[in-house]
Amino acid sequence: MRNACYTGSVRVQQEQEREEAGAGEDGFQAVRAVADAILYEGYLLYPYRRSSVKNRVRWQFGVLVPRPWAQARGLTGGGVTGAAESWWQQTECLLLTDHHADGAKGADGDASVECLIRFLHTRRRSVERRLPDGGWERVDSLQAGSRLELSFDDAVMRELRITATLAELLAGERRIDLTVPGGRTCDESLGEARGPAGRVVVDWKPIAVTVFVSASACPARHPLVRLRVRVENADLSVSPDVPREEALRVSPVACHTLLAARGARFVSLLDPPDWAQAAVRGCENVHTFPVLAGDPQTPKMMLSSPILLYDHPRVAPESPGDLHDATEIDELLSLRTLTLTDAEKEEARATDPRAAAIVDRVETMPREVLARLHGTIRSLRPAPMPQARRLPPDDGDGVLIGGVRVARGSRVRLRPRRTGTDPQDLFLEGRTALVEAVLTDMEGGRQLAVTLEDDPGAELGRWYGRFRYFLPDEVEPVTDAAGSDGAADGR
């Protein structure tokens, strides 16, 4: 179904269950394969069976839970990564209008942006057995002849499309409120000769989403526009006390944003031109990060993903289809799927229609297709001579730790956190190190790159650019008798 509404002059179009209605050609077609890989990353992991332990906790990326539910659990932090659940996410990126890119002057009224908000909507898939009195009882599984059905949640894709001119967005923020309606379907095809033996009932709850879209001018050598898209879960129907699986039913899952520009082009946030670096630092991306997508020669599209990517990501052309492990190796997963027993394959097919499609595709995969997955060479070029690796630019001012300025050349004593996950930290407690650089990470935090003072390979590690990294609260400054911090910037 499709519903269209208007908020101000911003056109909004909702597209539900797009794969069932048929996906038509549009400006986003070139990046949809990558976006779908993000959408279904972790949807169902190998061995694609409900009984697998790793499939008991699902929907890990880009989850926007209801605000009261998030606040009750202290889920109020920021950061770029979408692995942390939140009730909102924000994309900020930069646009340069085409006439500015060509060195011309004029108004931005002809430039426009199209925004596609995409997410998964979880559905409760229940298998029910017919009772002698004519009623129905939910069961964990049901075998009807040769057909096995399992109760297991699935999901469908939802899309929200917003189109606006740049002039409209520069004039003021637009707010779009959307409710994806709930629903229910019933498949009573699990039958016997004398009547239905069982049925599969799929139901889903409404999802309420609020989207804010705005633009603002950025001072730079060439006039830039900062575009902001903020997506919030506006649901107030569930209690903060409900378990996570109930909160997920009213939550956009794997939420991400596709952006297309007309009469303008996007600026890379990962590799911006020198004149745009200050504007890039002013972009605040929360629980998602935008990268250039589509044709590298025409930077007209962006993919803002809860999983961190590089500019112009693409799916390998050798890949025959989705495996829901987008960062894994197709050959490995295909070969391991072929090793499943008949009983395991039956369970996988009964777990989820997408899992059934994977098993069927792998079983019928021609040998030449499987061989093509073994590896490929993208380009042939001479191997360069190894060169010393360089650290990113040092912050210069350093960082204050216990009232002492710690900068490049300072000596520190390592005090790793006891709750850390790196077992090597047990061997570093109390050892002294030399600070090689004070860096700022993508989330605005400070990191100290250090080499151990008693490490005989420290100079080699410094030449290769291999360091150990610690947070400021994981070190203690080592001062001399005069109280100096020992910084030696002349090295």
Q: Which residues contact 274 (CB under 8 A, 6 or more apart)?
A: none
Mean pLDDT, residues 456-485 taken together:
81
pLDDT reported for residue 209: 96
Domains of the chain are 2-337 (no CATH), 399-477 (2.30.30)
Q: What is the tens place of the pLDDT at every residue in 314-363?
A: 888 888 888 887 666 889 999 999 999 999 999 999 999 999 999 999 99
pLDDT reported for residue 219: 86
Between 38 and 418, the more confident residue is 38
**Whether residue 420 has pLDDT greater than 60:** no
Q: How far is CA 479 from CA 305, 397, 399, 413, 476, in A?
A: 44, 18, 15, 10, 9
Q: What is the tens place of the pLDDT at every residue in 369-390?
A: 988 888 777 777 776 666 666 6
The residue to which tokens 């697998």 are assigned? 52
Mean pLDDT, residues 388-414 taken together:
82
pLDDT reported for residue 5: 37
pLDDT reported for residue 259: 97
- Beta strands 411-414 and 475-477: pairing type? antiparallel
Mean pLDDT, residues 272-295 taken together:
93
pLDDT reported for residue 3: 35
Burial of 291 (0-12, 13-18, 19+ CB in 10 A): buried
Between 483 and 160, the more confident residue is 160
Q: What is the tens place of the pLDDT at every residue in 206-245?
A: 999 999 999 999 988 888 999 999 999 999 999 999 999 9
**Whether residue 201 has pLDDT greater than 70:** yes
**Whether residue 145 has pLDDT greater than 80:** no
Reported confidence tier of residue 192, pLDDT bands at 50, 70, 90: low
**Whether residue 45 has pLDDT greater than 80:** yes
Reported confidence tier of residue 188, pLDDT bands at 50, 70, 90: confident
pLDDT reported for residue 485: 47
DSSP string, 277-334: HHHHHT---BS-EEEEES-TTS--EEEEESS---SS----TT--S--S-TTS-HHHHH
Mean pLDDT, residues 80-87 taken together:
86
